[in-house]
Each structure stands twice: as C-alpha cells, then as structure tokens.
Amino acid sequence: MAADALEVLLDGRRIGLITALGGDQSIFSFDDDYADDPDRPTLSLSFKGERGGLLRNHRPTQTRLMPVFSNLLPEGALRDYLAQRAGLKPMREYPLLEALGPDLPGAVAVRPVGEGPVDEDHDDDQHDDGAAGQGPLRFSLAGVQLKFSAVEKAQGRLTIPASGRGGDWIIKLPSVHFRGVAANEYSMMRLAKAMGMEIPDVDLVPLDQIEGLPEGIGKFEEDAFAIRRFDRRADGGRIHIEDFAQVFGVYPGDKYDKGSYRYLAKVLWLETGEPGVREFIRRLVFNTLIGNTDMHLKNWSLIYRDGRTPELSPGYDFLSTTVYIPDENAALKYARTKRMDEFSLDEVVYMAARAGLPEALARDAAAEAVDRFHDIWRAERAHLPLADDVVAEVERLLGVVPIARAR
C-alpha cells in the first residue's frame, strides 16, 4: 500500500511533498520555507522562472510523476528488474519512487511522511533483504543497462550492499547483446580523460571480484565496467545533480526527440559561462569522432557542488555505439543536422550563433578538441583494450566526419 504522501528531501532538508490524489494521480508542491528562502539549494533549473524566481504552480500527473522526479527512476530492464523485486508495476511511478527513494541519483531522497530519517550508515550486511533475499534492491540509477551500486572494500574488491544503498561505485554488467561493451566504454573514458575532460575513476572488474551480485541475472564471461559515483562525497555525503531531461522538463521516453545540442549549449552558456561551453564542445567533438550516437538528454548532466551553482558534471556513458549499430545520426540534432557525416566546423559555428554564444569561442574549442583527439588517439589507442573492430570504426569516422579535418 503506497503512502498517502512522500516527503522530498534535498541534501537532508525537506523541500516539498508529493501527494497521492487517488486514481493513480499525484501532485508535487514546494514547502513555503524552502520557496521563501533566498539562499535555497537548487532542485532543478526546470523550476526557474524567466525572472529567476521559483515556479510553484504544478499540475497533477497521472501514473507518471512530473519529469524532474520521473527521471530519477531507472528505465528499461533495470526498472523491470527492480519493480519485480519490489512487487510493483513498472509503469506506476509513485510507489516505485517510494520504494527506491532512499538512494536516488544526486542529493534527492524521498520517504513517506512521518517516517524517520533515512539511515545510510547502517550495516547492510546485517540486513539481507536484497541480493540474496526476497526484498527489493533499494536504489535507483537512471538508465537502461542493468547496473548496481557498489561499495569499495579491502584489496580493491567491490561489494553490492544487500539493501543497494550507500554505494560509491556503479557497476555495469556486460551486455547480453553486444560483445566488448565494458572494454569499449572503459577505453573511451580513458581517452576522454587523456584529452583533459573531467572523468571519474573507471575500471574493468572481473565478475568474481564483485560480491553480492543477485542471483537470476544471467551469466557473463566478460568483465564488468565500474565507474566511481560523482554524486557521492568521500565521506558518504551527497552532491546534487540533474540531467538535461530534467532541466528541459522532458520525460525519459522523449530523451532523443525534445532537445538539441544547440539548446544544451544555450543553457550552459547562460548558467556556466565559458568553462561549461568549452567542455561541452570538447565532449561533443569527442563523442562524434568515436561514433557515440547515444548522447541523448540523459547523458548530459549538471552538478551542484555548492548546492546552488550549476556546472557541467563529469563525463559518463562515453563509448563507440556505431560499431554495434551502424547509424550516421547523432542522438540529438547539432543545429541544422543530426548526421555525423555533416558535422563540420561550420556546423559548430552555426550552432554557437543560434545558441547566442561567441562564435570564436566555439570555433577555437572545436578546433582544439580535434587536434587533441588526433594526438591522443595515436598515442593511447595501442595501450587500451580496444577491439580491432572498434579501432577500425573510429578510423573510418576520422575519414568521413568533416570536423575531423578541421586541424
């Protein structure tokens, strides 16, 4: 039985309420003391009015939550898996958020009204209600791929807590459809870091070095991909983040359709200035040259290290996808086109002009990224676990993507 109302907490502070209205409807409202606080922490830029004030009038939603909360929940197989463990229907988001509320992405937590504080410091090993038991694995990592939150133990081993809470690493299991995905992502993330991008720690981990994997998820022969969570502090505290589907108020199912890289650039210019835009263009060039057609709205995020000021978050989900699914179209439109074989320096400059940011800045950032990519690709590719077909695909793209020649 779902709770009548859910408290929404941001870094431990209650900021609002999601109230069940019956008939699978719910509505969100901000608390007055949060709304009236001039130094309030930021929940989402989607609540920022044209004059900078807080938007407070929200309509009820049916079955789904409003996008800022819907995007905190996992998608696809991961949602189905966790909903089944919790005994819930995957499409009913209010009870699913209640079940997964203690460990959502960023600094948001949700709990039933009247329930005590969320205890993230308990000893998970003493509460076997997840990996080997019957209860749900209580965590939510937005995305589709089956993945788990893990804690780093002695000798570098990773352990998935029984409750799924408190992890400082994300473990992505190997794909059942595509070989070498973990090595592909690990290599591309290492290349991105070598180019100067802000990238979390990453690793390839044999499955026999991961303790607490649930039964019944299939057997894999390849290593898993591990990435340190950048929304958790070393002391266990939370750092708030939001993806651009949340920023634009878009549901996960529309993450490829309702947005463009031009609009991302515009938001980043207005909210983060030159540093955010330079990093954005560097990542856009990089992911085009490696053939990553999956850089949709949920694969770009903002991070609020001080609780209020947005910055472009560390990079994640960088891998070559065209090696598995041949497709010349990027996840989003650049400015005039989605085609990677039409992504040129002129397209970057046009995107900048339409986004209202300096064209010279965009041109310089893109040309610098291209130069740096060629240098790093030559120097590092032989030292990474890249399959021959991945190397061949990147080499092919360097011959057909126009911006690759903008040196």
**CA angle centred on 198, ends 197 and 204, rounded to 5°:** 100
**Contact of 250 with 67, CB cutoff 8 Å:** yes
pLDDT for res 81: 83
* DSSP tag of 48: B
The domains of the chain are located at 1-113, 240-405
Amino acid (1-letter code) at residue 269:
W
Q: What is the pLDDT of residues 332-375, one digit of tens each?
A: 999 999 999 999 999 999 999 999 999 999 999 999 999 999 99
Rounded to whole angstroms, how far apart are CA atoms 259 and 250? 9
Rounded to whole angstroms, how far apart are CA atoms 264 and 297? 9
**Contact of 3 with 18, CB cutoff 8 Å:** no
- The two tokens of residue 346 are 């002129």
Place of tokens 């009236």: 36
Count CA atoms within 13 Å of residue 334 on its CB side.
30
pLDDT for res 131: 37
Rounded to whole angstroms, how far apart are CA atoms 322 and 325? 5
Burial of 378 (0-12, 13-18, 19+ CB in 10 A): exposed
pLDDT for res 117: 65
pLDDT for res 160: 74
pLDDT for res 136: 53
Residues linked to residue 25 through DSSP beta bridges, in sequence order: 22, 62
Rounded to whole angstroms, how far apart are CA atoms 52 and 306? 18
pLDDT for res 164: 52
Rounded to whole angstroms, how far apart are CA atoms 26 and 66? 9
Architecture of the domain defined by 240-405: Orthogonal Bundle (1.10)
Q: What are phi and psi of 108, to 5 degrees?
A: -85, 135
Low-confidence ranges of the chain (pLDDT < 50): 120-134
Catalytic annotation, residues:
294
- The two tokens of residue 287 are 């992911």
* DSSP tag of 154: G
